Every structure is written in C-alpha cells, then in structure tokens.
Structure 1
C-alpha cells in the first residue's frame, strides 16, 4: 500500500461485487420520463460515522480513514430495487483494510430498505457502524473496549508450538426474542440469559469454525441464523472475510432449531460479526 494526498492505494477485493461508490441512479417518473439522481456513498458513510462520534477523513480516491488505528473503509453500491409502496431496497458493500491486521482487505454486505434511496443507504450504513465496525475497531486494540472477547490456545503438546487466538464478538442484531426473554425474567425468575449471550452463535456451532480457530491470520465471520416458529424452518447465512463459508451453515441451523418458542412468537433471527485473530502474548 502506498499513500498520497489522494489517498491510500489498496487493491479492491476480487470477490467484492460492489461497483462505483458514486454516480447517478436512473428512475422513471409517473409520466414515464427518465431522470437521473446523483449518489455519493463516501459522503454518506462519512456522515454516518461522524454521527457516531468517529474521527474520519475521506480521501479523494474514496477511501475513508476511521480513527488513527490504521483502519480504512471503502463503500460500493451493488444494486437497488424499487419495491411496492414506493420504497427502495439497497445492497452495498464496505471493504475494510487495516495496515497491520488485514492489509489484503475484507468486505461485508449491507442490505436495507427505506422510503427512498438515501434513507435505505443510511439505514444499512448505520447498522454497520453499530455492529461490524465495533468488532473491527476492538480487534485493533490491545484490549476490546465495547465488545465481549475470549482467548483460546491450541498446540503446545508433544513439541508442537503453542498458538494463542483471540475472538472478538460484535454486537448481536436480533429480532423476535428480546420480548420473550423479558417476559421470562418476570416473577423473580431468572431468564435464560446464556440463550442470548454474545458468544452463543459461534460457540454453539464451534466445530464448523475450528479450521479458522486452529490457524494463523485474521478472519471476520458473518453469522446469521433464523427460525420460523410457525413451521420450524431454520435458515442460516455464513461468510468469512465477505465470502461464503458453507461449512458453517449446518451448525447455525442446528442451533436455531434449539430456540424455544413462546406463545405468539413467529419469526426470529440473530446476526453477528465475529473476529478471529492471533492473540498478543
């Protein structure tokens, strides 16, 4: 990586499907006339990050430096869709590079819906700033400031080198369970607290991710599991550094199948960004 006043020159990840961070959108009005609407994802992400209190600097080439710890971000538009009810669904990616931890870069998707394109983009970026970014920032710190973490050791027997790994658990985005837990905690009874512990998505499907734990290097895991309590169907999504990791799907679906159903409960999901990295001695 080289840097100049124009910005750092990181290579874009080949697997990232994102396009340009800025340009024009083509829409048709009620009379069938076509018009163009400009967008600038770098400007939008910079605004969102500053709103969360981060010190940021946007370079001319679109890279955004976040804080002073060596983390850079680059947003790209994948696609947008006009839905019924005059709403917009957007899909973007944000590639992140860290000068020391992952100079080769990684990326993740942001999917959102809003009353217009700008509102949808802001919703997706805001969710990223509240969840994924927190894990990446804490991964660059000697001790995490906002996220739960744990350490694991591998090797060290029969002459094998001892390898220490740290796991940083980002905030859990969830739907359909918090109200049930609050109800369980009433009447002086203890709620099933570990059922919503930040470590549960990973530790309940740990064997699928052991190759990443028992390895060197930096891995960012997107974990998603859902359960339809009406019919019991469980689904999952799993990516590592932005790319599909099908080895994790069965474990995540099996964990979702264990979630208890409360009266009136329907769809439930949990989503989390988890970082696996080498631990400092």
Structure 2
C-alpha cells in the first residue's frame, strides 16, 4: 500500500491509501480513520459506502464522523465507489454509470466485467488487506452508507449473514432494479436478464429469504430523489413482510446532501457502537 496522506484528528489518525486491486484490476484508493484506542489493541470497524459521483473524499470532508468514531473507539473505512483510471471503461457524460457509479456489484457484461467488481472488492479484498495492515477486530464489523452506498450496505449485509453485526443507511436506493437512475446501469453491468438483478436489490433479496437482524434508515423528507429513486416505503413493506425490525425515520425538511448525512452521522455511529460492543 502507498500512504497518500495522514493527519491527526480527535486523538486518532485519518489516512488515505492507494493499492493495486486484483478484484478491480486497477489501483484503488480508500480512507481509514483509526481512533486513539487502536494504539492499545484491535478496535471494531465500520465500513462506510458512499453514493453516486463520490469518492472516499466526500465523506472525509463533509461527513463529520471522526469525533463520534473516536468517542466510541471505532475505526471507519471509506472505500471508493468504483474503479477508475486509464483503461477502465467509462461514460464521463453519465453521472449514473461508470466512474463514481459502481453500485457495489460484480459486473458480468463486457467491457465492464474486468474492472467493475466492487462487491468482491468490498466483501473480500479490502477487508483482507485491512486486517493485515491495521489493528482491527474483524469479528466486530458494521456497515452503513448513503444513497447508492446505502443500497450497497444493505445488500452486502443481507448476503453475508454473520459478517456484519449492524447495518444502517442514509437515504438508500431501496429497489434499484426498478428505479430510473439505476435500471440502465444494472442492464449495462449485469445484462438484460432481470433475474440476475435480484442479487443486488434489497427488497428482492428480502423477498428471496435473505435476512438481517435489524435495520436503521434515515431519510430526508425534502430529498429530491425520494419518490422516484429512493422509495423507502418499499423497504418498509419488504421488512414488515419478512419480520425484519426496521427503524425508519423520515427527517422533516432534510435533503439528499451531506448536510443531512452529517446531521445524523453521530447517531448512526452510536447505534452501531451499541451492537459492535454487545
């Protein structure tokens, strides 16, 4: 790994690294915040998955997570949202596909299958790398994210029972197989057979029998994507049918921005901490 930056914050260390990824067949960058408690021994780890157009940098600059992470003694890892760079297929004019829009899935269609393997990267490669290089208690992992990252967090938790002790989301895309801003990406990454899309759709995974112990979701009522893209009511129906406890909070007047995310970030981290230390 190549250390790109390091800075002290709330007694801990905020760092950014770059490494050659076998899963994505290109260099990948990620951010990690190590609280001061990591100097004494392994600490729990919380994965934060960002949304469309983002890198690890957005939540670093706007997410306001370090004080809460330090107070609770939790490391936070923020991966990038897609492969990038020369030779990686992209559509620069399309913010809903390609660079910054990996949707945390493993593409099966050419020319994307070689690089767009974000599920494998987040599930397998990056945790293995992190476990080897940082004082992390990999038996105590949680996952959360925003928008496309909320979708990724929920689907990863549903498909990997026992891996994550806790999962939450800010304004997740709850049914990407039918949402206008994700359907075209799914078809390009996964092909026209919509049966293959079910593996990356939270509501359909739940319908197919996948489960998490409980779920925390915050959603802004003034979010411009609420009705057509996010539709938390679909997740609410799916969880109710499956008996999954869902704590869904509609936050009056909040939009889709990091002003919303940062407002409730500390609450989410404290909620995860209760479960990670239980």
Asked if these proteins are the same fold (TM beyond 0.5), I'd say no
The higher radius of gyration belongs to 1
Q: Which has the higher helix share?
A: 2
Query: Normalization by structure 1: what TM-score?
Result: 0.32
TM-score (normalised: structure 2): 0.32
In terms of fraction of residues, the more strand-rich structure is 1
